[in-house]
Amino acid sequence: MDLTRKKPLGALLQQAAHGNLKRSLTAKSLVALGIGAIIGAGLFVRTAAASAQNAGPAVTLSYIVAAIGCAFAGLCYAEFAAMIPIAGSAYTYAYTTMGEFVAWIIGWALVLEYALGAATVAIGWSEYLNRLVPGGIPYQWCHSPLQTSDTGVQGIFNAPALLILLILTLLLIKGTQESATVNGIIVMLKVAIVIAFVLVGWQFVKPANLHPYTIPAGTPGHEGFFKHGWGGVLGGAGIVFFAFIGFDAVSTAAQETKNPGRDMPKGILGSLAICTILYIVFGYVLTGVCNWREFQTVGKEASVAYAAQHYMPGYAWLATAITVAILLGFSSVILVMLLGQSRVFYSMANDGLLPRLFSDVHSRFRTPYKCNIVLFFFVSIFAALAPGDVTGNLTSIGTLFAFVLVCIGVIIMRRLQPDLNRPFRTPLVPLVPILGVIVCGGMIVSLDRRTQLTALLWMAIGLCIYFLYSQRHSNLNSPALRRAEQAAESI
């Protein structure tokens, strides 16, 4: 059993050239796709959570730390995405650099990022819709059966979460270009709301809310290195990292990009740069308008709308607009997450590691429709029947782990095949990838122990699937592919 067997790069490039997916995306589409995933649950939910739990007003610094880690990883992603323009993202890159076993681990970790992340955001979408509907939605139809209201009403299933998942799944089946167009409209609307909150809120910033900038040692409920001071800044970075997962989802659409060598780096790094600036300014205004301590209690839910309602006199209308923006933002996040997960499964099925149905492409729409349908049912189980617990940390740890391995993969690829055509080259190798490993690894360590143990359990389940099914059905078991691998290595 060879756990390090690799998919030949020549076979990957041939697959990219003769793939069935339609190439319809441009650099602008990719930037909008990235912003669509980045601006959403992270900005509107994780900012207040990180401030209340770890960083206080210094959540702006947490965003900078997270952005630095993403920038290092993003440069590595850009090199791979331009060099290997094929669906699958980090999974595909690992397959040709570190072997099938590591690739499977990354692919399984990405389920935490995309599928469970989509379910979590769908539950949040339901909660905000409930705030917007006059009179609210009956409790039992927008909550999990594991939840009971203060009046004793028990949930049945989360119907709004199912509805938004169904609508976005049908949109993805119809076509990637159509999905990107809708996403682009959503992005413009919600960015406008973010800018409006910043411009209006700036005049209500109170310097007293920003001092002390970090949470002082000895603050009740903030014991532990990653709960206060500069350690809290790093701990907050691990939480807000959820807000940066959009840019790596861009790389999953490489096989559907018109000119991936030129457009993928622009899409990845462009969306990351734009959103980082917005995040820092937004975090400053939010914690300046409302004291971070209130995000632990009365302002914990719908924190941005809470700040507008209570601390921005004359602009209560903005709270409703923000709620609408959150619904739009969550919708685009779910859209990109479902897109990313389906493309990862599409690639894994093409490699024989998952059943072939995940790679079947619709004859008319040229999208992996069966994969989208299966994912809808899988994600819907969690969205409809599970309570909206905080699963953002699980999403973050899966993503950070993939980032670490992508950074390592660039170093390995430069050493093993230095003469390959690289339309985009990561600068200062191996310094940039090593810094990416250090920063992303530090954020993994800063996450809570329960998240780390749950991620290990998830990996154990994935290993069982690999050894019982995937390893036996891998295309690399084919003698023809082994000969192709040997030929590629001799080039």
- Flag whether 17 is in a domain: no
The whole-number pLDDT of residue 173 equals 84
- Measured CA to CA, the distance from residue 407 to residue 22 in angstroms comes to 29
Hey, which of 248-257, 278-287, 333-342 has the most confident mean pLDDT? 278-287
The domain containing residue 407 runs over which residues?
A: 22-476
176-185, 196-205, 223-232: range with lowest mean pLDDT: 176-185
What is the average per-residue pLDDT within 369-390? 83
7-16, 156-165, 443-452: range with lowest mean pLDDT: 7-16
Alpha helices in 252-316 (DSSP H): 260-289, 303-311
3-state secondary structure 121-134: HHHHHHHHHHHHCC
- Cα angle 170, 126, 302 (rounded to 5 degrees) comes to 135
Q: Give me the residue label for tokens 């210094």.
A: 58
3-state secondary structure 32-81: HHHHHHHCCHHHHHHHHHHHHHHHHHHHHHHHHHHHHHHHHHHHHHHHHH
- Flag whether 324 is in a domain: yes
Q: pTM, whole model, 2 decimals?
A: 0.76
- Flag whether 10 is in a domain: no
The whole-number pLDDT of residue 490 equals 47
What is the average per-residue pLDDT within 233-261? 76
- Flag whether 484 is in a domain: no
Q: The tokens of 238 are what?
A: 């691990």
Q: The tokens of 443 are what?
A: 């954020």
- Per-residue pLDDT tens for 60-96? 999 999 999 888 988 888 888 777 766 556 787 788 7
Q: The tokens of 248 are what?
A: 């790596």
What is the average per-residue pLDDT within 239-248? 75
391 has a pLDDT exceeding 80: no
- Per-residue pLDDT tens for 1-46? 677 788 777 766 666 565 555 666 778 878 877 776 677 767 777 8
Task: Label residue 489 by pLDDT band (50, 70, 90).
Answer: very low
The whole-number pLDDT of residue 488 equals 47
12-26, 107-121, 365-379, 404-418: range with lowest mean pLDDT: 12-26
- Cα angle 98, 238, 92 (rounded to 5 degrees) comes to 25
Task: Label residue 181 by pLDDT band (50, 70, 90).
Answer: low
The whole-number pLDDT of residue 189 equals 79
- Flag whether 15 is in a domain: no
- Measured CA to CA, the distance from residue 221 to residue 297 in angstroms comes to 13
The whole-number pLDDT of residue 128 equals 78
Domain of 49: which CATH number? Answer: 1.20.1740.10
DSSP, collapsed to helix, strand or coil, labels residue 148 as strand
267 has a pLDDT exceeding 50: yes
Task: Label residue 167 by pLDDT band (50, 70, 90).
Answer: very high
Number of domains present in the structure of the chain: 1
Q: Which amino acid is it at 452?
A: Q
Length of the chain: 491
Residue 71, judged by CB atoms within 10 A of its CB (0-12, 13-18, 19+), counts as: buried
Residue 309, CB-side half-sphere exposure with 13 Å CA sphere: 13
The whole-number pLDDT of residue 26 equals 78
- Flag whether 11 is in a domain: no
The whole-number pLDDT of residue 486 equals 52
196 has a pLDDT exceeding 70: yes
Higher pLDDT among residues 213 and 43, named by residue: 213
